[in-house]
A and B are shown apart, each in its own frame.
Chain A
């Protein structure tokens, strides 16, 4: 069987039954790769902010892919259990899968992303902050060996609190965004 025949077979199958999960999962897979790459290639953004945003974007799609699949397939299985004629059951299966995918897009994925990604990102952020603080303390102690007088000892510590973002709105937005820019 040639390549053309194999492609034809796949296309006929897709024409017979195009599951609503195929497109959304394909979009999520490519988004999971493309969006972090776009973010990382932004030359104007701060490296730490880029890393944070790219991880968050990638994780959102990691949550989305299995959720779309699970919601679609589970809804399809519910339709199979209904007491309907075979023709109606086929229609119901397709419709239930579509409604399952819609529910995933509307409620399940944003909810799961809020529950799982936010704490995970907070951990990463806190980990980075504590690392920076350790570095600062060692920097300050090293500097103090050479400088007997230091005008503003808290200068560096103050700077780290805002080092991820240029303004507070941007900082908070990056944490709460579910799947935005």
Chain B
């Protein structure tokens, strides 16, 4: 049991998620979409109908923010930043070796393994034609292949900028357009016509 917990807490997979802005922000937004409505529903001082309305509104807000972030913000900033960095840091080796973000991230993933695992992974069909001979030699022969932290820094910096613009400015506007029609559709919010009828 303790061994399992220690393995989880020192897991390299969890570490790569925690070092990846897009993944960690997505997980946190997902948690918010559960945690915040749960806190509203747990409030005993508020009447049940109001609680359900507020919790559903909060859930829809966070869920649409997450969907917008994952569908638009991540792909745009992920690919755009690498292209821009290729122009700004054109003399840097990492931007000459790798075509795009995914190409570099695949390299980084393999470079973090031990030598035997690296050789075995490069033998798999998926990776056979992915890298040039120069990169393959680096991965197969060196003990600690270069991580090219500049390329990783560019990706993470653009993810942070994208997350800020996306989650603080763009996604709330999108969710504002979606939340009220959805609440009306599921019957939790009355439209103007039915309001006047009831009055």
Contact = CB atoms under 8 A, between A and B. Distances in A.
Interface of A: 4, 8, 10-18, 20, 22-24, 26-27, 30-31, 34-35, 38, 79, 84, 88, 91-92, 94-98, 101-102, 105-107, 110-111, 114, 169, 172-173, 176-181
User: Mostly helix, strand, loop or mixed at chain A's interface?
Assistant: helix
A37 to B, nearest CB: 10
Contacts of B66: none
A30 B9 contact: no
Contacts of A114: 39, 43
A5 B61 CA distance: 41
A18 B108 CA distance: 15
Contact of B57 (A17, A26, A111, A180): A180
B28 A14 contact: no
Contact of A22 (B58, B160, B175): B160
Interface size range of chain B in the complex: 35 or more
Interface secondary structure of B, over-half rule: helix
Given A114-B39, A176-B43, A23 B150 contact: no
Contacts, number: 156
Given A12-B153, A98-B24, A173-B53, A35 B19 contact: no
Contact of B21 (A18, A88, A92, A94): A18
Q: Which 7 A-B pairs have the closest CB atoms?
A: A15-B149, A11-B153, A15-B153, A98-B18, A15-B152, A106-B35, A30-B168
Contacts of B155: 15
B88 interface: yes
A180 B35 contact: no
B169 interface: yes
12 contacts: A10-B157, A11-B149, A15-B154, A16-B152, A79-B9, A95-B9, A95-B10, A97-B18, A105-B35, A169-B53, A172-B46, A172-B47
